[in-house]
Chain A
Amino acid sequence: MEDNKEPKENKRREFLKTLGIIGAAGASGAMALYFGQQYEKIKSGKKVRLLTVDNKVVEFENGELKEFKGTTEDFIARGREGIPGKSWVMVIDLAKCRNARKCIGACQNAHHLRPEQYHVNTLQMQDSEITSPYFMPKPCQHCDNPPCVSVCPVDATFKRTDGPVLIDNERCIGCRFCIAACPYSARIFNWFDPKDAEKFANDPYDIELNVPQKRGTVSKCLFSADRLRKNELPYCVSNCPNGVYYFGDKNEDAVTNGTTKETVRLSTLLKDNAAYRLMEELGQEPRVYYLPPKNRLFPFPEEENKKDNHV
């Protein structure tokens, strides 16, 4: 639980600062200058001196200086490339989920979502009448054969080499064909101005976080691509109090539990627990594996069951 809401914000800021103030020039190659480690306020209070990368001291009006977070273009250029050599997968242990909804809260907070907007939603499932009900966290399945990507007319939603399906809300035209095509109901749309739209209006767009959200565009679970970039576990995974989520790299055959931080062999975990994927028969090749809800660790609240169940 080291990553609750506040430090997370700070971490993100730290990351952006690092990117902007120290590393952006190198990372993007497009920036010739970066604004230095040391700056000195001149006594008059109106000018500041900064050290450039090529060791020159330059003078600026103080008021013009702002923290540099990176540009939308840089974020998009980087975000469309996957992280080399990685193949991210998620494992969700249904036996452990008790609908704490911490994953949802952390996710909605990170992605500036309203309470009714879900990148990950925990559903109450019951497969047939006398079988047992269970809770099922449902993020985007990040299919390897994603119908949403196939139908997108403008390449706004795309599949990355390291697995995640992302969305570029600078390009999305809002036709919602991807929503129609997704069998997992994993996508949402910004029907109105997003939450706190004015507060973040001038921020650069981080495609790996899909923030700031934009009215008239689609949003979705991103496997927390911004956190993966920093070698951290996704927001939902690290905020689960019950050890439901495992996340990791299929190439390494290792996944880490977000609660216990225990790393286990992916293939063994799947094999030992008879893992399955949602609606395998549709052939979308999801990247999210479920461990069946057997020996569940909690009683199911009977009266809550079936409520709001609209299928």
Chain B
Amino acid sequence: MDEKTKSGIIHDILKSVKLNNGFYVWMAFLTVSLVFCLTAYYQQLTTGLGVTGLRDYISWGMYISNFVFFVASSLIGMLISSVLGLTGQKWVTPITRMAEIIAFAFAAVAGLVIVSDMGRPERLLNVFLYGRFQSPILWDVTVVTTYVMISLLLFIVPMVPDLAIAYNNRSDLPKWQRLLYKLLSLNWIGSEEQKALLHKAVRILLILVIPVALAIHTVTSWLFAVTPRAGWNSTIFGPYFVTGAFVTGVASVIIAMYVFRKIYHLQEYIKDIHFDKIGKLLVLVSLVYLYFNINEFLVPGYKMPKHEAVTLHSLFSGGHAIMFWFVQLAGLIIPIFLLLLKKFRKPTPLLIIGLFVFVGAWLKRYLIVIPTQEHPFLPIQNVPESYTFYQPTFTEICITLASFILVLIIVSVLAKVFPLIPIQETIDERNNKTESHEE
């Protein structure tokens, strides 16, 4: 590859890193919305969790289902970078960093989401002071924090060469930004020794993140599966959650790919073929998830044991039926069929399908968490009407929105300040391609 194309790539990818007015406006909007939503949290702190729609019987609601969703979404980093990267899928190169940003943002905010569900958040340290290893919450805290750290490393470490390139090529940037690049690039000069070290380090991280990622979502599923409740008392909850997580994660990456390609003008790097490939990936993970759904609902549905039957009826034909069938059809089955056709794997149709899958995935967590609690083993009696069902309040919705805003802020900042497409890897790959052509 000649120097001209190389500098062209560098120029294209680094075009976005300078903070511009659009970015400031966007961040101002996000910050104002966040502050507004956080007043809701202040209200919850001063009044108590009673400001939510939660009560004694349905005591886990939107916060917990949102937590599950966030943990699920964060698994995408592992799928894209590790599973596909390690198996030599070259097409993932331009979206690996995006996936890591999404993984880090969702995992980091998931930790905060769970704090928002605590009746006594000021006692968070008790988990470390008096932690009991018998409780899945302790496992969850351990693996989620580990996963946040590894995801952050998987974002930063492979970026080291790019940061050196950014430092050398963008002398026009503000001082703090150049300093940041200089510090994080760790004196990278691209020597063979450095390359070997980096390769090794990234490889170790990529392998390490696989069991940790599986663990975070398996443990999250155990928050439900270790209880004796009908509807949660399932042996397949671990893989059911993990496969569902891949569906959610792929959908979020599709949305991110579309948006960043548009606003950063990355059509040269995120091409139609990438959408085509990730559309196929979505079909694959959705099929696996569908298989687990069939097992999870059809097997108890066939037998209809007394207590599970009540929950299943409410899902299949009762109060939750509209949401349930929307999730299964619009969020899973229809996307699978559409995406088998090539024309639906183009950017815009894929974005729309991705949005449906994303929303469906969020609602799916809601359906896993809430209906089971509405039908405990013993009847709900002698309590106010509001205790017998769950209806999220405005406060609760605001606090949940705050978590999404926080994710958007983290994603926006990381995707803005740092080069979003791996520069060095793109150059290397195009080099290899031309070389193999010449041979």
Query: Judging by beta carbons under 8 Å apart, are B384 and A116 in contact?
Result: yes
Q: Are A174 and B49 in contact (CB under 8 A)?
A: yes
Q: B383 contacts which chain A residues (CB < 8 A)?
A: 116, 118
- Give a binary string over A177-209; 1 marks a CB under 8 Å from any B CB, 0 the rest: 101110111011111110000000000000000
Residues of A within 8 A of B129 (CB): 154
Digitize A156-192: 1 where CB-to-B-CB distance is under 8 Å, 0 elsewhere.
1000000000000001111111011101110111111
Q: Encode contact with A along B135-156: 1 for CB under 8 Å, 0 otherwise.
A: 1111001000000000000000
List the B residue with the shortest CB-CB distance to A136.
B378
Inter-chain contacts of B379 with A (CB < 8 A): 123-125, 308-311
Choose among B132, B229, B373 the residue that contacts A155 (Cβ–Cβ < 8 A). Answer: B132
CB contact between B119 and one of A125, A155, A171, A216 (< 8 Å): that residue: A216
> Which A residues are in CB contact (< 8 Å) with B375?
310-311
Q: How far is the CA of A122 from the CA of B120 in the complex (A)?
A: 30
- Complex alpha-carbon distance, A135 and B136, angstroms: 36
The secondary-structure label for the interface of chain A is loop
Q: Is A284 located at the chain interface by the 8 A CB criterion? A: yes
The reply on B25 being an interface residue by CB < 8 A is no
Q: Which of B47, B57, B136, B381 contacts A308 (CB 8 A)?
A: B381
User: Distance (Å) between the CB of A68 and the closest chain B CB?
Assistant: 28
Chain B 51-69, CB-CB to A under 8 Å as 1, else 0, gives: 0101111011000000000
> What's the minimum C-beta distance from B342 to chain A, rounded to whole angstroms?
45
Q: Knowing A153-B137, A179-B56 are in contact, say whether A189-B49 is a contact too (CB < 8 A).
A: yes
Q: Which residues of B contact A284 (CB under 8 A)?
A: 228
From A147, A180, A189, A193, residue with most partner B Cβ within 10 Å: A180
Contacts of B36 in A (CB 8 A): none
Within 8 A of B (CB), among A196-248: 215-218
A69 on the B face (CB < 8 A): no
Contact B227 A216 (CB under 8 A): no
- With a cutoff of 8 Å between Cβ atoms, the chain B residues found around residue A151 in the complex are 134-137, 226-227
Distance in Å from the Cβ of B382 to the closest Cβ of chain A? 6
Question: Which one of B49, B57, B127, B224 lies within 8 Å of A216 (CB-CB)?
Answer: B49
User: Is B118 at the interface (CB under 8 A from chain A)?
Assistant: yes
Instruction: Establish whether residues A173 and B120, one from each chain, have CB atoms under 8 Å apart when the complex forms.
Output: yes
Number of interface residues of B (CB under 8 A): 51
* Across-interface contacts of B330 in A (CB, < 8 A): none
A152 within 8 A of B: yes
Inter-chain contact B48/A190, CB cutoff 8 Å: yes
Judge if B123 is at the interface, Cβ distance under 8 Å.
yes
Contacts of A309 in B (CB 8 A): 379, 381
- Complex CA–CA separation, A217 to B119 (angstroms): 6
B293 part of interface (Cβ distance < 8 Å):
no
* Residue from A121, A124, A171, A192 in contact with B126 in the complex, judged by beta carbons closer than 8 Å: A171
Q: A147-B228, A151-B135, A311-B375 are in contact. Are A180 and B49 (CB under 8 A)?
A: no
Q: Determine whether the beta carbon of A154 is less than 8 Å from that of B381.
A: no
B119 touches A176 (CB 8 A): yes
- Asked if B310 is at the interface (CB within 8 A of a chain A CB), the reply is yes
Question: Does B196 make an interface contact (CB < 8 A)?
Answer: no
Instruction: Let me know if A279 is at the binding interface, CB within 8 A.
Output: yes
What A residues does B56 contact at CB under 8 A?
A: 117, 179, 185, 187-189
**Which among A180, A184, A193 is the interface contact of B60 at CB below 8 angstroms?**
A180
* A282 surroundings in chain B (CB, below 8 A): 228
Chain A minimum-CB-distance residue to B222: A151
B84 to chain A, nearest CB (A): 35
Please give, as numbers and ranges, the residues of chain B lying within 8 Å of A118 by CB-CB distance.
382-383
Contact A216 B229 (CB under 8 A): no
Say if the beta carbon of B387 comes within 8 Å of chain A. Answer: yes
Q: Is B117 an interface residue (CB 8 A)?
A: yes
Rounded to whole angstroms, the CA-CA distance of A121 and B380 in the bound complex is 10
Within 8 A of B (CB), among A223-275: none
Asked whether, in the complex, the Cβ of B48 is within 8 Å of the Cβ of A193, the reply is: yes
Known: A150-B134, A171-B123, A189-B59. A311 touches B47 (CB 8 A): no
**A153-B138, A175-B117 are contacts. A192–B50 as well, Cβ < 8 Å?**
yes
Contact of A310 among B120, B141, B229, B381 (CB under 8 A): B381
Say which residue of A122, A138, A154, A185 sits within 8 Å of B57 (CB atoms).
A185
Cβ-defined contact, B229 with A183, below 8 A: yes
B124–A173 CB distance below 8 A = yes
21 A-B contacts (beta carbon < 8 Å): A116-B383, A121-B381, A123-B382, A147-B227, A150-B134, A151-B137, A153-B131, A154-B130, A173-B120, A176-B60, A180-B59, A180-B227, A181-B226, A183-B228, A183-B229, A184-B378, A185-B377, A215-B48, A216-B118, A309-B381, A311-B375
Q: Which 6 A-B pairs have the closest CB atoms?
A: A174-B119, A216-B119, A191-B50, A153-B137, A153-B135, A192-B50
